[in-house]
Amino acid sequence: MSIKRMTAVGSACVLLLTAVSPVVAEEGGKDQGDKGSFSAKHEVVYANLKPDGDQEKLYVINNFDIKDKGSIVDYGPYTSVQNLTDVNEIKQEGQKVEWTAEEDEFYYQGNLKGDTPLPWDLDVTYVLNGKEISADQLAGKDGKLEIKIKTTKNEKADASFFNNYLMQITIPMASSKFENIEAEEGTVANAGKDRQVTFTVLPEEEGDFTVTAEADNMEMESIEFTAVPSSMAIDAPDIGGVKNDMGSLAEATASIDNGVGDLQNGIKELNGGVASLYDGSVQYKQGMESLNSRSSELVEGSGSIQSALQQMNEAVQGGTGDVDLNDLTKVEGGLRELADSLKNAQSEIDDLNAQYGKANQALADAIAAIPGYNITEADIQALRDSGADQDIIDQLLETYRAAQAAKGAFTDAEGAFQAVTPALEQSSASLGEMSNQLYNVADQVGAGLERMDIAGSIAELQTGFDQLTSNYATFHQGLKQYTGGVAELTNSYEDIHGGIAGLTDGTAELEEGAGRLKGGTSELASATSDLPGQMQSEIDQMVEEYDKSDYEPVSFVSEKNEQINSVQFVMKTEAVKQEEKEEKKPKKKEEKGFFERLLALFK
């Protein structure tokens, strides 16, 4: 090489070194010994996910608002760091990160281990034509697609993010690839010429969502999960008017409960009166049956006496004188025995009448205790519109209608009930009159026997016997009519007693239903007694649960970091794409660099 060429190369090298040296000198910047400060730090956590939601790569972009330029210290378990602001060096010692800030804003990236726990566990499942399929097999497929996404709390991460962050899930779906997109709990919107499905997960909640669509030559961009603090303040609504309405409702339910209590007491008295009526009816029925069963004996005994009197009368009227005084004595005894039987029957009817009167009065008092309110359909509709329990309202109306039906039935049958007492009194009077007549006849027979001289008074005897036989025949006929009436009354009373028995069952069931109704209205009244206060408490609790405006951000990477202004999460799955075929390109001639071209000048 000639001296001339060497001189030229040397001169070129000197020029290059002279041009580079000022840059190297400037890289030193401000001395790192001067301490700087910052007013706020922002962290954005980026996570690259596999198509099924598993973590693959994790890094944090740290942004600082510099207050005083100089040395800044930050912390984080980074595997490596990279300056995104200038070419100054960032020193990393363990979890301590230090650099010199020379600008008003500074960015650096910190790379984390891929398995660093995020606040949420994310799971994405793909189902094609009813069968689960992996994402790497899904590209290019056709059919009915289901994308199932679940978000759950990761117990290994700081819980403050899960408890205070709002997550939005975005699924982009190209119109050329998907049709009939449906998302039951999400929003399907247009995004340019394509479609976009969005789901929202509230703080402290887990998500479970499904998107369905018809896929054609399936491809899909990344599913994005973004999480930011739910810092929106929620003002409690003004519910003064509603509270007044709820207060009126509470008063109405308390009034209903009191009314149902009065109704229950009235139905209880009604049931007691009906029970007493039934007991009295049983005794009355048994008494009538007993009286009816003895009627044939009375008629038969009376018939025997009538037959004996007729035979003796025939003998006396025939003038044969074959009259046996012992037969007359027997007639007298039979008359007195028959009169005693009628007297006993009269006493039984009087007792029966007294018992029936008490039972009937108890029933009448119980029926009268049922309020005669006229509740209109408008009143019923207003009660249904009040918000009270519809089952309780139905029971209340059923009880009201049953009580009014019982009251109406008694009113309709009241005449029949009241007719029983006069009938019993008439029967008692008839029995007493017939009994007295028999006693009188027996006395006449006995007196006649004492003073009668058969031999000297045949004419008198004939006249007396003829009159006695005639009178007794009339009595016997009346007795037969009376016993026939007793039989008819006994048979008729079977229907009345059956009705009373049915009424007893109905009022007993009514009392039981009123008890259940009272329990329901009492529960309703108790539940609504402090309804305005309960409503206010529920609203306060809801506001407290969803109002995260007092949340103070904390660093995701280290609790040592200060001045944290915001922390956000951006998590994206790998896109589902078909592999592109590589095209062979002609090799381009390699171009020489600057130094190579420079050296070539001297060759």
| pLDDT in the model for residue 456 | 46
Q: Which distant-in-sequence residues (6+ apart) come within 8 Å of 265 by Cβ? A: 369
pTM: 0.48
Q: Which distant-in-sequence residues (6+ apart) come within 8 Å of 120 by Cβ? A: 151, 152, 153, 154, 157, 162, 167, 225, 227
**Residue 76 buriedness (CB in 10 A; 0-12 / 13-18 / 19+):** buried
- Tokens standing for residue 401: 């209608």
Q: Give residue 48's pLDDT band: very low, low, confident or very high (50, 70, 90).
A: very high
Comparing 299 with 83, the larger pLDDT belongs to 83
Comparing 223 with 283, the larger pLDDT belongs to 223
CA distance 215 to 10: 68
Span 473-485, mean pLDDT?
74
Unique residue bearing structure tokens 């009201």: 400
> Is the pLDDT reported for residue 131 higher than 60?
yes
- Tokens standing for residue 28: 């030193």
> Is the pLDDT reported for residue 18 higher than 60?
no
How many CB atoms lie under 10 A from the CB of residue 507? Answer: 27
Q: Give residue 336's pLDDT band: very low, low, confident or very high (50, 70, 90).
A: confident
Q: Following CA atoms 400, 406, 408, 410 in sequence, which dihedral angle do they give, to the nearest 10 degrees?
A: -150
pLDDT tens readout for residues 63-118: 999 999 999 999 999 999 999 999 999 999 999 999 999 989 999 999 999 899 99
Lowest-confidence region among 214-228, 362-376, 532-546 = 532-546
Q: Give residue 411's pLDDT band: very low, low, confident or very high (50, 70, 90).
A: confident
Unique residue bearing structure tokens 């029949």: 416
| pLDDT in the model for residue 160 | 92
| pLDDT in the model for residue 28 | 39
| pLDDT in the model for residue 601 | 58
Contact 94, 74 (CB under 8 A): no
Q: Give residue 578's pLDDT band: very low, low, confident or very high (50, 70, 90).
A: confident
| pLDDT in the model for residue 14 | 36
Furthest-apart CA atoms within the chain: distance in Å: 209
Which DSSP helix (H) or strand (E) runs through 125?
strand 120-128
Q: Which distant-in-sequence residues (6+ apart) come within 8 Å of 210 by Cβ? A: 146, 147, 148, 149, 183, 184
Alpha carbon 271 to its chain centroid, in Å, reads 33
CA distance 274 to 362: 7
Q: State the DSSP string of 494-505.
A: HHHHHHHHHHHH
CA distance 240 to 350: 70
